[in-house]
């Protein structure tokens, strides 16, 4: 990137971030205004005072810039192609977070890195994992997300092998709502699998790991390349986990968000049978079975009829596949589901966690590398700087952090 292009990118990123923060502040003011209309004068004044304190504390926090120095690593709880995830503790508050560390040298295409961060920034849904901070140093990028102590759906399947009908409907319905959210943002997840479906301490799902996601509509990320060309490239890239990847993704041709619905079909099959349908000894064998799926795919007779119908509607060629949330939600498999109250229903399995930092549902490694932090941010103009990556969420302010600023 030339120096002129770099400066333009910095300016564009600055104004985009400033506008986003102003929009969010106005939204918070609107929410406060609506709330205090229903309160008596004394309570309303307390609400206004607390609001002002928190806004003041947020501005102070942004000036101080949160970075690697503010976190202590506790355990490694996950590792993938794009990065390593740690349970980390913020030193001033003691709060636990999931800290994803992404090595810059291992991720050559920064469009995907920027997009993962932007998805998390813009996501306001309870079905998607929350991002509190993002920052960088010379060697790495960091995403500080909510820690979900319940583990993932794969852990549930390993412990139970298969699920009975009612729990299966519950989890699949919540995954549908998560896909509805990201597809509404113009995003295809492209790596939907049980390992990327996390569970809260109440047992509800959160979709995570957007490191392979593709922006197929909208303009979440402003790339240095031609946006149309970049989007087309993303929509032709062969990415994903072998057992869950759709045939059109393997073809190398252009595809859309319907690839995620194929992956959901694989998950539903696995929930009822204990294994994905195209599982083989090697990835190459799996790919061959997927590409020839009409001949290699069969639903066992033990699978309930409505589940079989849904599976067959999802594991299908793109043009015939159930590919829209509204169509999937109408399927008889979900008869009896109240989509509006699902988030408030009791989950089939409530994690038995003993503390906020409990890692019993993870294959956690205690001996983490203490020197993963370069600790120094890249200097201005450094070629290692990812422009516009740093972020601090208003929601990251905790009670003990903002009340200390009380006048």
What's the confidence (pLDDT) of residue 139? 87
Domain count, the chain: 2
Distance CA 377, CA 375 (A): 7
Q: Which of 82-96, 102-116, 189-203, 272-286 has the lowest mean pLDDT?
A: 102-116
Whether residue 241 is contained in a domain is answered as yes
Is residue 187 located within the same domain as residue 235? Answer: yes
**CB 274 within 8 Å of CB 294:** no
HEC string of 188-256 equals: ECCCCCHHHEEECCCCCEEECCCCCCEECCCCCCCCCCCHHHHHHHHCCCCCCCHHHCCHHHHHCCCCC
Is residue 186 located within the same domain as residue 292? Answer: yes
**CB 181 within 8 Å of CB 171:** no
Q: Is 70 a catalytic residue?
A: no
Beta bridge partners of 85: 78, 100
Whether residue 11 is contained in a domain is answered as yes
Is residue 209 located within the same domain as residue 304? Answer: yes
Other beta carbons within 10 angstroms of residue 287's beta carbon come to 17
Is residue 99 located within the same domain as residue 218? Answer: no
Q: Would you call 110 exposed, middle or buried from its count of C-beta atoms within 10 A (0-12, 13-18, 19+)?
A: middle
pLDDT digits (tens, 9 = 90+) for 311-369: 999 999 999 999 899 999 999 999 999 999 999 999 999 999 999 899 999 987 766 66
Is residue 143 located within the same domain as residue 275? Answer: no
pTM of the model: 0.84
Q: How far is CA 162 from CA 262, 293, 313, 336, in A?
A: 20, 23, 21, 21
Is residue 139 located within the same domain as residue 262? Answer: no
Is residue 221 located within the same domain as residue 308? Answer: yes
Enter the tokens of residue 22.
């102003």
Q: Would you call 238 exposed, middle or buried from its count of C-beta atoms within 10 A (0-12, 13-18, 19+)?
A: exposed
Whether residue 349 is contained in a domain is answered as no
Distance CA 106, CA 108 (A): 6
What's the confidence (pLDDT) of residue 119? 94
What percent of the chain is predicted at pLDDT more than 70? 80
Distance CA 387, CA 14 (A): 9
What DSSP designation does 296 have?
A: H
Whether residue 354 is contained in a domain is answered as no
For 56-88, b where at least 16 C-beta lie within 10 A, e where not — what string? ebbeebeeeebbbebbebbbbbbebebbbbbbb
CATH of the domain at 107: 3.30.200.20
Closest by alpha carbon to 190, among 270, 119, 257, 125?
Answer: 257
- Residue tagged active-site, from 137, 152, 191, 243: 191
Is residue 229 located within the same domain as residue 118? Answer: no
Is residue 198 located within the same domain as residue 270? Answer: yes
Give the HSE-up count for residue 94: Cα atoms under 13 Å, Cβ half-sphere: 4
Is residue 161 located within the same domain as residue 308? Answer: yes
Domain endpoint, select from 301, 321, 344:
344
pLDDT digits (tens, 9 = 90+) for 389-405: 889 888 776 534 544 44
Domain extent, residue 66, equals 3-148+359-405
Mean pLDDT across the chain: 85
Is residue 43 located within the same domain as residue 169? Answer: no
pLDDT digits (tens, 9 = 90+) for 255-266: 999 999 999 999
Is residue 176 located within the same domain as residue 133? Answer: no
pLDDT band at residue 13 under the 50/70/90 scheme: low
CATH of the domain at 322: 1.10.510.10
Distance CA 219, CA 15 (A): 15
**CB 214 within 8 Å of CB 223:** no
Under the phi-then-psi rule, with left for phi > 0, alpha for psi from -120 to 50, and beta for the rest, what region is 209?
left
């Amino acid at each position: 990137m030339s120096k002129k292009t770099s400066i333009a990118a910095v300016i564009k990123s600055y104004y985009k971030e400033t506008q986003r923060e102003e929009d969010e502040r106005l939204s918070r003011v609107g929410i406060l205004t609506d709330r205090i209309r229903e309160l008596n004068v004394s309570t309303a004044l307390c609400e206004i005072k607390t609001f002002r304190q928190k806004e003041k504390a947020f501005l102070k926090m942004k000036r101080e810039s949160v970075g690697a120095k503010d976190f202590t690593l506790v355990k490694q709880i996950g590792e993938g192609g794009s990065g390593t995830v740690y349970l980390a503790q913020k030193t001033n508050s003691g709060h636990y977070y999931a800290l994803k560390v992404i090595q810059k040298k291992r991720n050559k295409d920064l469009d995907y890195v920027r997009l993962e961060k932007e998805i998390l920034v813009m996501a306001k849904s309870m079905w998607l994992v929350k991002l509190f901070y993002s920052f960088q140093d010379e060697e790495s990028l960091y995403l500080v997300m909510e820690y979900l102590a319940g583990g993932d759906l794969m852990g549930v399947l390993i412990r139970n092998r298969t699920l009975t009908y009612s729990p299966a409907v519950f989890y699949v319905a919540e995954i549908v709502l998560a896909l509805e959210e990201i597809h509404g943002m113009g995003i295809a997840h492209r790596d939907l699998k049980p390992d990327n479906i996390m569970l809260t301490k109440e047992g509800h799902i959160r979709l995570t790991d957007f490191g392979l996601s593709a922006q197929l509509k909208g303009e979440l990320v402003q790339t240095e390349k031609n946006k149309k060309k970049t989007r087309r490239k993303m929509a032709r890239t062969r990415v994903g986990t072998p057992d869950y990847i759709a045939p059109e993704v393997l073809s190398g041709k252009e595809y859309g968000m319907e690839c995620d619905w194929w992956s959901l079909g694989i998950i539903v099959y696995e929930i009822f049978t204990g294994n994905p349908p195209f599982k083989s000894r090697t990835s190459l064998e799996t790919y061959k079975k997927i590409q020839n799926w009409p001949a290699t795919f069969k639903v066992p007779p033990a699978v309930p009829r409505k589940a079989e119908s849904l599976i067959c509607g999802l594991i299908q060629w793109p043009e015939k596949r159930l590919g829209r949330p509204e169509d999937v939600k109408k399927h008889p498999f979900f008869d009896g589901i109240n989509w509006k109250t699902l988030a408030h229903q009791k989950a089939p399995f409530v994690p038995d966690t003993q503390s906020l930092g409990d890692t019993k549902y993870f294959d956690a490694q205690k001996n983490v590398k203490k020197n993963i932090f370069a600790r120094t941010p890249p200097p201005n103009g450094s070629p290692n700087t990812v422009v516009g990556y740093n972020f601090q969420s208003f929601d990251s302010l905790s009670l003990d952090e903002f009340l200390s600023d009380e006048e």
